Structure 1
């Protein structure tokens, strides 16, 4: 099969989508592969991956077996999407919709076996109508769902999937040619990459829908600018410019998906102080604090008791740390609201032990934990974890006194 500009652009976009799907499959499969919802989602993602892989191989080799597999996978998409939607909504879809999705999958399994010269282009037109109708019906289920029966996290997940439908439904029309729509490049791959990005984003609870849409808009506008600039430099015309925009957008989305998946993996492996709270020895405060000394983020933490703080004004230190149980070098800045005695005591404490942070571990007797952390390591998240560890140590101490 000759490689023209359309085929090159389609192949690059589809390959980027396939790589994005493989990353998402790895992320979703690593979360909880035994979960029924995860299995449904993985089934849909794998159907999409098979469709893209076989389509690329069909374009490159021209072998009929890949064309057959592409049509079969395309016919399975509404059924896979419906199964996922049922899992997300925790409700059965209407029987007529189930029959439509399952019957369509069987129909296109049979139609895929008929030679192309006998069934085209009406087979592609029928497949387009089937997918379009299936996705519209699924969108209707999502919009009409009983929101009160789902948790806020479940509603958030459903809404993320609905966002991807906003692109999938119009963009998939461009995937059906020749004869139906003459586009310079298929855009279905962009919708798939957007779906992959939304899926990766489900692992980030703080990322809202508005943030996602704004980020996608920035990426899309940047890609349009880059593609048009390339078109203007090489004078490739509007068709070449559209292809350049889509290729740049595909590559950018793939890079973002990869970066987010790596960040999620790193976050999963990260030795946070919360892990110490969950797995540390909570028998007594002394053992809990000794375990903290071995943590990678605060390795070498120094534990000081009342007897080792004889050079300091214990009343001033206790008052300062009861007011704010976690103090850092920033608190002793000349412009800080602390009084002079408190600032001098904390400054001396930090300088004597070359520490950057101090935690109040127990009030009676007074026990302090001094840490040495670089300014780069002391991120906002780590600061919050330090406060959580301090509170845990205080709770253990209070439990010991009550016993």
Structure 2
């Protein structure tokens, strides 16, 4: 078994996994926007590159070797296109000619047999990628910051930060007879790029937080590799491969976790979208649409008839003073009110009950245990409750 090939394959497959996760996140948010289309093109090119190189290594088929050269030649073009989208301006004409001309040239050069094209083809590819990345980096550094918003400048800064890491690690993807490289680290750079792009959706995460987190991950991976190497008597090159595998696995896990957090945040904000997009001229229509949202899936709309077996005057007084009540918040209630609420929650297997209309009297009961650990979602419920009350007071004829 070729040990370096196994490590290279693992790092590349981890990068492929990170790219697929990021592509899925972008598709779930807004794949139709012009900037996201440019992002997706670049990410899909990188994913095809990672897949084709692994297939080429393990099958030694010329079709996969050619696909590797073709996709590697498209990476600089995708970088320039993305830079144009981020900066909202065209690249200089020379940069466009170099990026487009090089991509076209390598689509043709990839078809040449290795016996004729190597090693000058790989050398040209390295110089082409290095020159184009440098030109794209120059575009971002010399941009007019005042013409971009704070969020746009933040996105550009994080892409530029990833390029600073990608450029030195990119060199390790090109084998040399003069330097014995234990592992290709381009996949690690791609994983870091995916992590940075995912962090753009987390506004509270700054550049420093991301860099510090990466340094911690890198330190832990190196420490783990040293322990593994010392315990098993590994050579330095094998220890470096172990470190790259551990770091790639850790980055892939963090990327997956962050993608889940973003999707959870997207679902959590569905209540806010409900307020912004759904109808506000009909209380019942508003409440029925509310029941379709994931956060309150299965919510029950209760009228006075459903509450007839309770002490209705006491229930009305309780919710007049506390429009939103939850199972964990009964300490401040009197014994009688606490008993009424406990019976109501038990009867409808609910964790939260909120008042949505006074005349006629209506409640919504829902089961959402996770809200007890998510203050932001509970705040959104309070906003929905208040909006429902305002709609009912504004449109009493619909009740």
- Does structure 1 conserve the Cα–Cα contact (< 8 Å) formed by 2:182 and 2:240? yes
The equivalent of 2:234 in structure 1 is 236
Question: Hey, what's the Cα distance between the residues in 1 that align with 2:178 and 2:304?
Answer: 77
Question: 1:271: Cα distance to partner?
Answer: 9.7
- Does structure 2 conserve the Cα–Cα contact (< 8 Å) formed by 1:11 and 1:56? yes
Question: 1:47: Cα distance to partner?
Answer: 2.0
Question: Hey, what's the Cα distance between the residues in 2 that align with 1:84 and 1:24?
Answer: 16
Question: 1:349: Cα distance to partner?
Answer: 4.2
Aligned residue-pair number: 389
Question: 1:192: Cα distance to partner?
Answer: 0.9
Residue 164 (str. 1) matches residue 162 (str. 2): yes
Question: 1:309: Cα distance to partner?
Answer: 6.5
Question: 1:251: Cα distance to partner?
Answer: 2.0
Using the size of structure 1 for normalisation, the TM-score is 0.81
Q: Which of 315, 335, 341 is matched with 1:350 structurally?
A: 341
Within a 5 Å distance, the mapping from 1:2-401 to structure 2 comes to: 3-117=1-115, 120-179=118-177, 181-262=179-260, 264=262, 272-274=270-272, 276-277=274-275, 282-289=280-287, 292=290, 296-297=296-297, 299-303=299-303, 311-312=313-314, 318=320, 320-321=321-322, 325-333=323-331, 343=334, 346-354=337-345, 356-362=351-357, 365=359, 367=361, 369=363, 371=365, 373=367, 375-378=369-372, 379-400=374-395
CA offsets 1:132-164 (integer angstroms, 9 cap, x no match): 222122122112222232233323332332232
- Does structure 2 conserve the Cα–Cα contact (< 8 Å) formed by 1:125 and 1:180? no
Question: 1:246: Cα distance to partner?
Answer: 0.5
Taking a change above 3 Å as real, the CA distance of residues 19 and 375 of structure 1, as seen in their structure-2 partners, is closer
- Does structure 2 conserve the Cα–Cα contact (< 8 Å) formed by 1:273 and 1:297? no
Extract unaligned runs of 5+ from structure 1.
337-341
Question: 1:234: Cα distance to partner?
Answer: 1.3
- Does structure 2 conserve the Cα–Cα contact (< 8 Å) formed by 1:358 and 1:370? yes
Taking a change above 3 Å as real, the CA distance of residues 71 and 284 of structure 1, as seen in their structure-2 partners, is closer
Tell me the SS of whatever aligns to 2:177: coil
Question: 1:293: Cα distance to partner?
Answer: 6.1
Using the size of structure 2 for normalisation, the TM-score is 0.82
Query: Over aligned residue pairs, what C-alpha RMSD do you find?
Result: 3.5
Question: Hey, what's the Cα distance between the residues in 2 that align with 1:178 and 1:83?
Answer: 30
Taking a change above 3 Å as real, the CA distance of residues 4 and 89 of structure 1, as seen in their structure-2 partners, is same
Taking a change above 3 Å as real, the CA distance of residues 79 and 302 of structure 1, as seen in their structure-2 partners, is same
- Does structure 1 conserve the Cα–Cα contact (< 8 Å) formed by 2:311 and 2:340? no
Tell me the SS of whatever aligns to 1:371: strand
Question: 1:36: Cα distance to partner?
Answer: 2.5
Question: Hey, what's the Cα distance between the residues in 2 that align with 1:241 and 1:72?
Answer: 32
- Does structure 2 conserve the Cα–Cα contact (< 8 Å) formed by 1:272 and 1:297? no
Extract unaligned runs of 5+ from structure 2.
none
